[in-house]
Structure 1
């Protein structure tokens, strides 16, 4: 049965960490460890979708889970893949008496696993992975256990989506800063070229841009060369 006090403490900790700088891999490792402490399971693992849309193993509480997660990818079959693809929870209460995943099941039994619970990680219609819980004894989760498992999957989803937003925001900030820096260099080049050619700044800019276009060069590259003195445009 789920340890409600430990679950509450874990959720508070993860909520606090969400507003700090964090590594996704570290957070998912912690989540797997906490799942084993909170729920009546022997192991936990997480798989995520990569940029190409393929499912990849990213975290596990122990080596047995690590191998069984990787096995599902190799076989292209298993509860984790099914939860990821359908967006629905997958429950196999006794692998020994289940024919749901015929290639995966005998290999999981060989590793001492008897029950599997997979919880989808999704936002709306977007599926990004799954959290998988394993037991060495057969048995069904009660309602509280199942709810806690999905909560942990939702926590993992929140971290992944937040990390993506931060990445996009950082990329946007870098792009904006690059644009600002580029404009400074171009303005410097325009002023220098205006003085060299004895023309007004708009005309200097037009000539600089024309030079770049005619030669298939980037305007910023031409501006940098003008500022450094390595390029000098001739008077027309």
Structure 2
């Protein structure tokens, strides 16, 4: 029979093996939440991460009941998961039936009890000093997490953190590549327009670029748009070099 330690190792290897460029982040995090339930003896899991505006958002939950509970936490900005994210510290073994333990998030605790949960924990999703979210764990019976459980839970939270940061890096690279390609394409269009305008106005290419810039800037017109109009022969303005002061 496979030991718990062997199962943990198997799940971590499974997680790492899926961290490829084309992996499905949402499916990956949902599967990881199911693995938390399996390994930690808890009943439900929710994962929250911050978006580009530094606002917490729910990204995965092990079931619909937990999904709704986590949305409640976000709407009211309360609960161990929210507190864990802001503090960067784990929130462990919180009895949802204790008014002392749930000070500051009574409505969330009441909602969680109504959903059938009696205990909750939250683990930070962080890499070095960067916290990007938190993992919320729920149980229907009062069972404390021991040191081994906490280490396993944090390891899974760390894997989720790495997956999310990797996905963001990939998306950023793709965005930067798209921006670079757009800049290169724009430059080609501008060079074509310079050639056309230089021939029409009997100007050098440098002079042509200067007059294009001089025309576009005060009109808040992008050079690429002006160049497309010149190429398409839809430009109906007047581009001409400024007269030299010593001209008669």
Whether these two folds match at TM > 0.5 is: yes
For residues 199 and 77 of structure 1, the distance between their equivalents in structure 2, rounded to whole angstroms, comes to 67
Q: Point out the more displaced range, 77-86 or 47-56.
A: 47-56
For residues 121 and 52 of structure 2, the distance between their equivalents in structure 1, rounded to whole angstroms, comes to 26
Change (3 A) 1:63 1:140: same
What CA deviation, in whole Å up to 9, does each residue of 1:135-193 have, x standing for no partner? 11112112211101001111111111111111221111111111111111111111111
Residue pair 1:116, 1:134 contacting (<8 A) in 2 also = yes
**Does 1:230 pair with 2:234?**
yes
3-state SS of paired residue (1:57) = strand
What CA deviation, in whole Å up to 9, does each residue of 1:57-111 have, x standing for no partner? 2211112212221232233321111111111111125333452214132332222
**1:144 matched to which residue of 2?**
148
Change (3 A) 1:191 1:41: same
Instruction: Name the TM-score, length of structure 1 as normaliser.
Output: 0.90
RMSD after superposition: 2.0
Consecutive unaligned residues of structure 1, counting only runs of 5 or more, are none
**Does 1:200 pair with 2:195?**
no
**2:173 matched to which residue of 1?**
169
3-state SS of paired residue (1:96) = coil
3-state SS of paired residue (1:47) = strand
**2:64 matched to which residue of 1?**
63
3-state SS of paired residue (2:121) = strand
Q: Point out the more displaced range, 84-93 or 207-216.
A: 207-216
3-state SS of paired residue (1:82) = helix
Residue pair 1:4, 1:38 contacting (<8 A) in 2 also = no
How many pairs align? 235
Instruction: Name the TM-score, length of structure 2 as normaliser.
Output: 0.86
**Does 1:51 pair with 2:55?**
no
Change (3 A) 1:199 1:73: closer
Change (3 A) 1:175 1:75: closer
Superposition pairs for residues 209-224 of structure 1, below 5 Å? 209-224=213-228
